[in-house]
């Protein structure tokens, strides 16, 4: 059974939209598939939808020299933080089968829209 047979007819619109924005959401577990952090896994801390970028825990760390700013309670010095990564460089790790996968969409019997794993057909959204 094909996934889009279960959709309500908006499939073309949805695929159009998913080409523009990543289906990955905050708190998803992802794996980096390209670049210096290839193979690293982490949780998505932030999705910058308009730039199609993701901030992932412990991935693509950069060091910044920061000036102290007492008014905003920022201490000076070397600060390490996560830089964003383009969404095309990561894949979601399926919570069902544990493999990196691409996502499909499905509408459940109760009308809920969920993302599904294309490898095991498991529902990613609980
Ligand atoms: Zn899966």
User: Quick one: DSSP state of residue 90?
Assistant: E
Give residue-wise pLDDT tens across range 1-17: 344 444 444 444 455 44
Give residue-wise pLDDT tens across range 61-72: 999 888 888 888
pLDDT confidence tier of residue 20, bands split at 50, 70 and 90? low
If you measure from the C-alpha of residue 91 to the centroid of ligand 1, how many angstroms do you get, rounded to a whole number? 12
- At which residue do the structure tokens 């412990």 appear? 58
DSSP alpha helix (H) spans, 2-123: 11-20
Residue 124 maps to a domain = no
If you measure from the C-alpha of residue 24 to the centroid of ligand 1, how many angstroms do you get, rounded to a whole number? 14
100: domain range?
3-117
If you measure from the C-alpha of residue 66 to the centroid of ligand 1, how many angstroms do you get, rounded to a whole number? 42
Quick one: pLDDT at residue 70?
Answer: 87
If you measure from the C-alpha of residue 88 to the centroid of ligand 1, how many angstroms do you get, rounded to a whole number? 19
Residue 102 maps to a domain = yes
CATH code, domain carrying 41: 2.30.30.30
Residue 88 maps to a domain = yes
Residue 72 maps to a domain = yes
If you measure from the C-alpha of residue 37 to the centroid of ligand 1, how many angstroms do you get, rounded to a whole number? 23
- How many degrees, rounded to 5, is the angle at CA 29 between CA 4 and CA 106? 15
CA distance 55 to 9: 33
Question: What mean pLDDT, rounded, does the chain reach?
Answer: 85
pLDDT confidence tier of residue 90, bands split at 50, 70 and 90? very high
Residue 123 maps to a domain = no
pLDDT over 50 at 46, yes or no = yes
Residue 116: C-alpha distances to residues 36, 40, 102, 104 (Å): 28, 22, 9, 5
If you measure from the C-alpha of residue 124 to the centroid of ligand 1, how many angstroms do you get, rounded to a whole number? 8
Residue 107 maps to a domain = yes
Total tally of structural domains belonging to the chain: 1
If you measure from the C-alpha of residue 21 to the centroid of ligand 1, how many angstroms do you get, rounded to a whole number? 21
Residue 125 maps to a domain = no
pTM of structure: 0.75
Residue 126 maps to a domain = no
């Amino acid at each position: 059974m094909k996934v889009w047979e279960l959709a309500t007819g908006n499939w073309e619109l949805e695929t159009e939209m998913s080409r523009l924005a990543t289906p990955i959401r905050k708190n998803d577990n992802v794996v980096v598939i390209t670049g210096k952090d290839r193979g690293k896994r982490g949780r998505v801390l932030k999705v910058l939808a308009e730039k199609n970028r993701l901030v992932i825990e412990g991935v693509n760390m950069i060091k910044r020299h920061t000036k102290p700013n007492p008014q905003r309670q920022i201490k000076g010095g070397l600060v390490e933080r996560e830089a964003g990564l383009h969404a095309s460089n990561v894949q979601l790790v399926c919570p069902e089968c544990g493999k990196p996968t691409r996502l499909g969409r499905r509408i459940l019997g109760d009308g809920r829209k969920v993302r599904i794993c294309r490898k095991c057909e498991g529902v990613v959204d609980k």
